[in-house]
Amino acid sequence: MIITGSAAEGKVMSVITRRLTVPELSQQILTMATSGVYRESVFEALRPMATKKQISAAIAHAKRFGLHSVASLRDDELGTYYQVDLVKYQSLEQTIATSTHFGDDADLLERVVSANSAMQRMLTIAKGLATVLGVIGIICLLENRNQLGIGLLSGAISAAGVWALQRSLHKPDF
């Protein structure tokens, strides 16, 4: 509660401070860093609106939009000095509010590589299964095991369909 005016007037205003999201914090940090700012100043300015962990995450997020440190201006007490690459910032400014926070860059890269390799394994397994079932089904048909051969060929067609679907959905962008 903040009391404004004289206490006799009885004007009482409640202040509700909400926690800002990482993109909102990033926007604030980028705005502060357009003229240059020290890390400790960022923490002091944003501490009422976010935790130290959230601010650190927002700094990492803001680095994707042009925030960079200036090593020559680092101070022992105030920490890293940040500035903004205005060209990068202005070109990506519209996406800051809509972008999501995915964690550390190293973690993001690891997750993308892991997902890509898992998808490649699924494609390989589905293709191999379709091939093996098809070959065994044809062999069974040649040996007059018609029911088994048709069943295996049906399985091969199903596995080939799964493989085709997975392949159509898997679009590597890198």
pLDDT of residue 115: 81
Which pair of tokens denotes residue 54? Answer: 């959230």
What pTM was estimated for this model as a whole?
0.48
Helical (H) or strand (E) element with 83: strand 81-84
DSSP 123-160: HHHHHHHHHHHHHHHHHHHHTT-HHHHHHHHHHHHHHH
Of 96, 31, 10, nearest to 61 by C-alpha is 96
For 40-96, write each residue's pLDDT tens digit. 988 888 888 888 888 888 888 888 888 888 888 888 888 889 998 888 877 777 666
Residue 104 above 70 pLDDT?
A: no
- Average the pLDDT over 114-120 and give the result: 84
Q: What angle do CA 124, 130, 133 make, to 5 degrees?
A: 135
Contact 20, 101 (CB under 8 A): no
2-95: CATH class? mainly alpha
Q: Indicate the residue type of 68.
A: H
- Average the pLDDT over 125-149 and give the result: 93
> d(Cα 91, Cα 65) in Å, to the nearest integer?
9
Sign of the Cα torsion 34, 74, 97, 110 reads: positive
Sign of the Cα torsion 90, 93, 111, 116 reads: negative
Distances (CA, A) of 78 to 37, 38, 39: 9, 6, 6
